[in-house]
Amino acid sequence: MFQPRPPLRPLSARFLHVSRPLCDHVGPPHPISNMRPMIYDEDAPASTQRAYHPYSLHEFDPEPASPYKLQWKLQRQQLDEFHHTFWLESNTRFERGKQEALSRLPETATALDKERALSEFYRQWVEQEDRRTGEYTEEWRQRNRSSLILASRVAYQKFTARFSDIVLFKKKSA
């Protein structure tokens, strides 16, 4: 059965169209830190970007250079590295402490003795790490806020650039 084609979009709407979706990926978890690394869309290899569009759009940057874009990218990478480093170091110390707690038990220790020793270790660990984890959390939140501010600036510049393209196009065609 014949179905009519949808009406063509006005040319101005084409300026707002994104030719390929942004698609950040998450890698496998690190064996010690348990953090899953982010692979951001703009950092993905060109071979994966080619699959989004039939033309070679990956060779061109469709957006004008933004003074905040590079700063935001670097800040995200630093935040991810800060997060990973904290948990890598924390989990390494945790496992070392856990093994030390278990090694203090005699070879004849029962499962209940091991459970009690681990329970005491966990209690001490939480108390010992409370201040350190709180400081990490505050630092992470502060860095995350500044990253969000930069992200909003990048998005605003992108929006204004596209809006000005539409206005300029209408003036030229009038």
Please name every residue paired with 38 in a beta bridge, in sequence order, or none if there are none. Answer: 26
Identify any residues that bridge with 39 across adjacent strands, giving them in sequence order.
25
Cα–Cα separations (whole angstroms), residue 4 to 1, 8, 11: 10, 12, 20
Sequence spans of domains, the chain: 23-58+68-169
Question: What pLDDT is stored for residue 159 in this prediction?
Answer: 87
First CA to last CA distance, the chain: 40
Q: What is the pTM of this model?
A: 0.69
Using CB atoms within 10 Å of the CB of residue 72, give its burial: 0 to 12 exposed, 13 to 18 middle, 19+ buried.
buried
How big is the CA angle at 130 (ends 127 and 29), to the nearest 5 degrees? 110
pLDDT tier at 162, thresholds 50, 70, 90:
confident
Give the mean pLDDT of 1-7: 58
pLDDT tens digits for range 125-144: 999 999 999 999 999 999 99
Which pLDDT score is estimated for 70?
87
pLDDT-based confidence at residue 8 (cuts at 50, 70, 90): low
As a whole number, the mean pLDDT across the chain is 80
Q: What are 45-102's pLDDT values in tens digits?
A: 555 544 555 555 555 555 555 778 889 889 999 999 999 999 999 999 999 999 999 9
